[in-house]
Amino acid sequence: MNTQAILIFAAFVLVTLGITYWASSRTRSSSDFYTAGGGITGTQNGLAIVGDYMSAATLLGISSLAFTNGFDSLLYAVCAFMGWPVIMFLIAERLRNLGRYTLSDIVSYRLDERSTRIFTAISSLTVVLFYLIVQMVGAGQLVQLLFGIDYTYAVVAVGLLMMVYVVVGGMVATTWVQIIKAILMMGNGFLMAGLALYYFNFDFSALVSAAAEHHQAGAAMKGPWKLMADPFSGLSLAVSLVFGIAGLPHIMMRFFTVPDARAARKSVFVATGLMGVFFVVICFLGLAAMAILPNHPEFYVDGKVGGMVLGGSNMPIMHLATALGGNLLFGLLAAVSFATILAVVSGLTLAGASAVAHDLYAKVIRRDDVTPSQAMRVNRLASIGIGVIAIFLGLLFRDQNVAFLVALAFSIAASANFPVLLMSMYWRGMTTRGAIYGGLSGLLVALGLVILSPAVWVRILGFSEAVFPYDFPTLISMPLAFFMIYFVSKLDSSRRASTDRDGFDAQQVRAETAVGIAAVSH
């Protein structure tokens, strides 16, 4: 047990619990619970987006991919960054002007509300649960490494703490935890990058040479040594990361926390600039771990350099912190990493709870016949339920690389949510039937191919050979979703289809002018 690191870790948890207690007095309605009443500024929301998006998959996963695969990890970083211009120019303003709490608000604006809300809620919950796996695995491994306790107890403890943040503090607490975490994470990352360069007397070429010397691929790790051997998977992964961002419910939900479209646009601008720089830093830290850790056999299982690192495949950056700055820097990074996970898990839980409580319960089952007290009770019960499921999934997927798992979540988001969301905002001809058939096609094909892929069929379920030979299905499932939306909508001659098309003009006015929405209260 690392006493110094644990004290820093405990101090951060106490601070965030204090924020949650403060936020509880400002969480009185569903609007406060889901969107902080729409009172978050553009700059604050941009920092919160960084905190929400730069998850365990980013900090632990991409750095560990750089440690293992070298140059190939840049594909994750570059493609994940390139999705943000898509959001800035195509989605952010319209999303804020048309929505209230969830993606369903936009899709159902002119389409049949009942059927589209059922589909988008199911699709959003699927993405949320896949993404929750990522966070729970990272959290379990981190707490296990820090406290020396069993992985199972670590995941349960993280899940229980996450429920407290969400159920008590709602979006207000989640936002401020995300902001604080983003600032600390970037500061810690830049500090470690500077120390790594100092380790090699600020000679970057010496660092790269040391990394290549210790890597299994040698100098080949400086180029795309694995991805080019399987171009389909590489391109499919790239498409997933670029377009999957716009289908992530917890990220899109952040645009409902600002007062207007201008603040939404500023949020994306701030977030994009900060993340673009930090993605490079994270990849660099993975390279630095590759160069430095072989000099420290104590960080490897049984002291065997080149074997498994202590704590699991996602922990190289944590050991790098110890090598560079001792227990103090390790404690700081552990606290920031844990804050990263808590912030993202809280946002995911809120997104999942909104799908259950707002879309399914309030809109579909009760048809808006819900009192504020009933809505808040269902909100909190849904949050607890999702937290329990997250714990179970974290135990089931304990040995998977978290960056890989997040790519699977992005595949489903890009195949199911993104096509329906984009077409609902920009294509007059889309009908309710087209949205449902297209979205379900993308969702089911993506989910089915993920299950049949080597990642799940072989590594999780234990079969000898995968039915679908690629890990990422997006090159198949996303074009299929767009095609089915277009094809079914074109063939749809029902009365509902005429209503859907006739409603596009009113939606267009609302999307571009925000006429009809309140400035802050939604």
Cα separation, 269 vs 94, in Å, equals: 16
**Phi and psi torsions of 142, nearest 5°:** -65, -50
pLDDT class for 421, splitting at 50, 70, 90?
Answer: very high
- Token code pair at residue 465: 């050979």
pLDDT of residue 404: 62
Q: Write down the CATH number for the domain with range 3-21+41-513.
A: 1.20.1730.10
Cα separation, 58 vs 75, in Å, equals: 12
**Phi and psi torsions of 309, nearest 5°:** -80, 155
Cβ atoms < 10 Å from Cβ of 266: 18
Instruction: Please give the mean pLDDT across all residues of the chain.
Output: 83
DSSP state of 514: -
Q: pTM of the predicted model, to two decimals?
A: 0.83
pLDDT at 92 exceeding the cut of 80: yes
**Phi and psi torsions of 226, nearest 5°:** -105, -45
pLDDT in tens, 107-120: 888 999 899 999 99
pLDDT in tens, 440-476: 999 999 988 888 888 778 877 778 888 988 878 899 9
Distances (CA, A) of 449 to 70, 299, 386, 476: 27, 37, 24, 9
Q: Where are the domains of the chain?
A: 3-21+41-513
pLDDT at 381 exceeding the cut of 50: yes
pLDDT at 169 exceeding the cut of 50: yes
pLDDT of residue 18: 85
pLDDT class for 90, splitting at 50, 70, 90?
Answer: confident
pLDDT class for 520, splitting at 50, 70, 90?
Answer: very low
pLDDT in tens, 266-323: 998 898 888 888 888 888 898 898 889 888 888 887 777 777 788 777 788 888 998 9
Give me the mean pLDDT over the 260-264 stretch: 86
Sequence letter at residue 51: G
pLDDT in tens, 26-38: 777 778 877 887 8
pLDDT of residue 399: 67
pLDDT of residue 229: 66
Whole-number percent of the chain with pLDDT over 70: 93
